[in-house]
Homo-oligomer: A and B are copies of this chain.
Amino acid sequence: MPILDELRERLPDDCIQDDVDVVATYSQDRAIFERPGTAAVLVMPRSTAEVVATVEAAAAADAPVVARGAGSGLTGAANAVDGCVILSLHRMDEIVAIDTTNRMARVQPGVINADLKAAVAPHGLAYPPDPASFEMSSIGGNVATNAGGLCCVKYGVTRDFVIGLEVVLASGEVMRTGRHTLKSTTGLDLTGLFVGSEGVLGIITEVTVKLVPTPAAPSTMVASFDDLPSVGTAIAEVFAAGHEPSVMEVIDRESLRHVEAAFRMGLDTDAACLLVVQADGDGATDAITAMADTCTRHGAEVHHTDDPAEGDLLLEARRKVWPALERLGKHLLPEDVAVPRQRLAELLGGIEDIARVHDVAMPTIGHAGDGNLHPVFVLDPDDSDEVARAKDAFEAVIELSLSLGGTIAAEHGVGTLKRAFIHRELDQVQLATQRAVRHALDPDGRLNPGKAL
């Protein structure tokens, strides 16, 4: 039977949507270079049982299954493939349990990251992972892409917080992985294997995450550097001195100028870049003062404050970059590379060179403390020449990152956007092993084919 009939046999009508326009809306994420295929149908399950029914229907009709969270991905990982079932988990949005003694929460995959943060806050707890999309992206999508964010420099990425999963496998079987205790060494770690697996190993239907006590209000500093090598040296010295910043963001000159043009914040638009640093916890004031001194010693103009509201204002320039770029009315594609911390200044400088050589607009922001930069391509999609130049620059940034000992995908994943480059980072033995693991879990290649590997 065709997939639509198989689904109708197994699921309530209101779970199934085959209106072409609606299906198309759910068929792509935000990776502007990537063209989605044409999905056969959209399924919106309310329960694990309905996910199982969907996977069974897809098996019966020999149709691929592409799971998606909120669609805020940036690599095409959630894009439709031809003839597939798009499985949108947005209705499975229940916070199942919050365990304050063990500092854990159990949630369905459609829970929005910000909603989880809000739900645990009254208990004095926090869920740190904070991708820029945290107000719209879902925990299931965060887990499937191993999402990062601003706080990772101190608190770690999504992987560091996932301790258990419920997963529907390609076979339609339901598997629970992980633990409900703080430690366990029983069997292989399948939980970690699923984090960042981009939907190719199974459909995540429940997530157990670790929580932390709500951090104290941070102290904040902003340093305005005249040249890129100095910011690189200052960052290296900060970490060598043993500091643990909770935020360390960089904004390059071009980004500063866009923010200033859009919002008139009185920023120093002649600076090579702005470094915004926060520290939380009891020693925050001392730590920020010491880090400010380090930046001053390397020629930066520095301002710092213990007032959380003022600190928030200082971070505002970083937060306003994306809105400022959006006002340009063009398409935006953030690149996502990371290098060892000591190579950050070289990466920043190299990105400026690439923008000049390829004649593209590429304002750059990033998580400097992680060595992780996002040059943002600002494009007119109808200008084929500009698009071609941007694609060349995009590849050049990846090559630059690799040449500096870096990664092709720091926190946005591979999807389809970076599949062609994966063999440049992973050796053939590892790629073959990854494929063998994938094949062991999904021998028919039914789950998100053509993605990630």
Question: Which residues of A come within 8 Å of B, CB atoms?
Answer: 99-103, 124, 145-146, 148, 152-153, 157, 159-160, 169, 173-177, 179-190, 192-193, 195-197, 201, 213-214, 236, 239-244, 281-283, 286, 338-342, 367, 369-372, 405-414, 418, 422, 425-427, 429-431, 433-434, 436-441, 452-453
Contact of A429 among B146, B169, B181 (CB under 8 A): B169
- What are the residues of chain B within 8 A of A153 when measuring CB–CB? 182
Residues of B near A179 (CB, < 8 A) are 407
16 more CB-based (< 8 A) A-B contacts, given A186-B422, A188-B438, A190-B430: A101-B240, A102-B341, A102-B342, A124-B241, A148-B183, A148-B185, A175-B429, A183-B372, A183-B410, A184-B407, A186-B409, A187-B452, A188-B437, A188-B452, A190-B193, A281-B282
This chain's copy number in the assembly: 2
**Could you say which residues of chain B place their CB within 8 Å of the CB of A188?**
193, 196-197, 201, 434, 437-438, 452-453
Query: CB within 8 A of A181: which of B192, B286, B406?
Result: B406
The residue in chain B whose Cβ has the minimal distance to the Cβ of A367 is B183
Q: Which 4 A-B pairs have the closest CB atoms?
A: A192-B192, A282-B282, A282-B283, A213-B242
What is the bound-complex CA distance between A340 and B407, given in angstroms? 38
Q: Are B101 and A414 in contact (CB under 8 A)?
A: no
B434 pairs with A146, CB closer than 8 A:
no
Indicate which residue in B124, B182, B239, B436 contacts A440 across the interface (CB closer than 8 Å).
B436
Alpha-carbon gap, A425 to B181, bound state (A): 12
Cα distance A119–B403 when bound, in Å?
A: 29
* Residue among A148, A282, A283 having the largest count of chain B Cβ atoms under 10 Å: A282
CB-based contact B197/A342 at 8 Å: no
B371 near A181 (CB under 8 angstroms)?
yes
Partner of A100, one of B240, B339, B371, B410: B240
Using known A-B contacts A103-B239, A192-B192, A242-B214, determine if residue A152 contacts B425 with beta carbons closer than 8 Å. Answer: no
Q: Do residues A414 and B173 form an inter-chain contact, with CB atoms below 8 A?
A: no
Distance (Å) between the CB of A237 and the closest chain B CB?
9
> Given the complex of chains A and B, what is the CA–CA distance between A422 and B152 in angstroms?
34
